[in-house]
Amino acid sequence: MINKNKIVYVALSADFLHKGHIKILKTAFSYGDVYVGLLTDEAIATYDNIPYLDYDKRKVIVENLKYVKKVIPQKTLDYTENLNLIKPAYVVHGDDWKIGIQKKTRHGVIKQLKKWSGKLIEPKYTKNISSSLIKKKLTNIASTPENRVSRLKRLINSKNIVRILESHNSLTGLIIEKTKVLKNKKITEFDGMWSSSLTDSATKGKPDNSSVDFSSRITSLNEMMDVTSKPLVFDADNGGQIEHISFLIRSLERSGVSAIIIEDKVGLKKNSLFKNQSDTKQDKPQLFAKKIKKICSSRKIKDFMVIARIESFIVGKGLKDALKRAEIYSKAGADAILIHSKEKTPKEIFSFAKEFKKSKNYIPLVSVPSTYSKVHEKELIDNGFKLVIYANQLLRAAYPAMENAAKSILKEQRALEIDKKIIPIKEIINLIKND
């Protein structure tokens, strides 16, 4: 009963295709001309991590399948907009969505189709396809430098906030890679890693004053990159000498780093959270802008991001200075602004965001809520922040736990007491699988 004049609608994310998808498309083809509503990154990000392949790559694959007549974007999980646009005679979907979280979407489709007497066709879901195995293979694709570099920009364009956590070694990288919690029926996880100058130096027993040089920082970040696939944001202090910047960018891109953050300070580096900042000097805005321009002209991968970090609030200058700098840095080519603060509340960064939003040079904003940790991600979103960096929490969690174990052994002169509070050896052995 092939009827080539009838439109058949199939929604797909098509990050990877298997025989189940082909079965659906083949069935759809037998009813008429197949229009695929390809879910955009934004639509997928509302229920899952963004796909490994971006929209354009997925579109090329799907539109070249022999059963497919046309590909159109589906911008939400809900089909309503596209169904009303093309009024298909049929919608085809595997019968697995009769239960679970897709149930609501299915009801919506049935309701729309009724308007023009359209029909829902639900072939039996193809079981026994190891999606987890396919996903694992895809993780290897995602961790190729080129794919990983671009992922941060795609996340910023697809999510209302991108969540980054500090990683100071491979094990913490794996925690960021794997930790997931179920919240409001949605799986929540971190989007990427922050290579912090503070925690990387502290892990090496050194102060956060650039005594750990970039080559040592890059060695530890490469160890993290070897075992993870999520994007990494690199804390480059003030970027170092402008004459050396292009070499640093080359190393970072080669490693698959997605963004560099440079701060507008000069002289001997001191951590921004120190109370006394009287000897901290801020760079002249025009000189700092030259560093931004240098990074832009050095990068080979267009999606590698340069984020300018403004330290005006840290050194005691006000909103006006911060805003003036934001304009200059944005015009120089920065992709985003990190407005840093060591206040106990986000008041000053929110007042900055409110003013900067009015600028024609507005670019996304980044927050590091270390001292104002009370702030909730929702408030950051409401105030226009696109990226949140939890800059040091994993190291701060690990240190007292390890110190406590050391103290217990000394006190008890044996390990039994602490044994009960730490994970079994078996778990450590199984933590890292040799595959």
Site residues, ligand SPV (CB under 6 A): 196-198, 208, 235, 271-273, 368, 370, 391-392
Closest to Mg ion by CB, 235 or 335? 235
Residue from 235, 264, 311, 335 touching Mg ion (CB under 5 A): that is: 235
Of 238, 282, 245, 280, the residue nearest 263 (C-alpha): 238
CA–CA separation, 360 vs 225, rounded Å?
37
Q: Is 177 in the site for Mg ion (CB under 5 A)?
A: no
User: DSSP readout, 278-293?
Assistant: TT-EEPPHHHHHHHHH
Residue from 197, 201, 277, 341 touching Mg ion (CB under 5 A): that is: 197
Closest to Mg ion by CB, 54 or 263? 263
- Looking at residue 47, the DSSP 8-state letter turns out to be T
- Looking at residue 185, the DSSP 8-state letter turns out to be T
Tell me whether residue 205 is exposed, middle or buried, using C-beta atoms within 10 angstroms of its C-beta: 0 to 12, 13 to 18, 19 or more.
Answer: exposed
Q: Is 200 in the site for Mg ion (CB under 5 A)?
A: no
Active-site choice (15, 41, 54, 208): 208
* Partner touching 273 among Mg ion, ligand SPV, none, CB below 5 to 8 Å by kind: ligand SPV
Look-up: residue for tokens 């919690």?
181
Is residue 96 annotated as a catalytic residue, yes or no? no
Closest to ligand SPV by CB, 54 or 235? 235
Helix (H, G, I), strand (E, B) or coil at 246: helix
* Partner touching 174 among ligand SPV, Mg ion, none, CB below 5 to 8 Å by kind: none
* Partner touching 368 among ligand SPV, Mg ion, none, CB below 5 to 8 Å by kind: ligand SPV
Question: What's the min distance (Å) between Cβ of 206 and ligand SPV?
Answer: 12
Q: Is 201 in the site for Mg ion (CB under 5 A)?
A: no
Query: Residues 312, 321: contact at Cβ < 8 Å?
Result: yes
CA–CA separation, 292 vs 261, rounded Å?
10
Question: What's the min distance (Å) between Cβ of 410 and Mg ion?
Answer: 33
Of 107, 25, 65, 106, the residue nearest 9 (C-alpha): 25
Question: What's the min distance (Å) between Cβ of 237 and ligand SPV?
Answer: 8
Q: How is residue 53 written in tokens?
A: 């392949």
Q: Is 348 in the site for Mg ion (CB under 5 A)?
A: no
* Partner touching 311 among ligand SPV, Mg ion, none, CB below 5 to 8 Å by kind: none
Q: Is 264 in the site for Mg ion (CB under 5 A)?
A: no
Helix (H, G, I), strand (E, B) or coil at 332: helix
Active site residues per annotation: 208
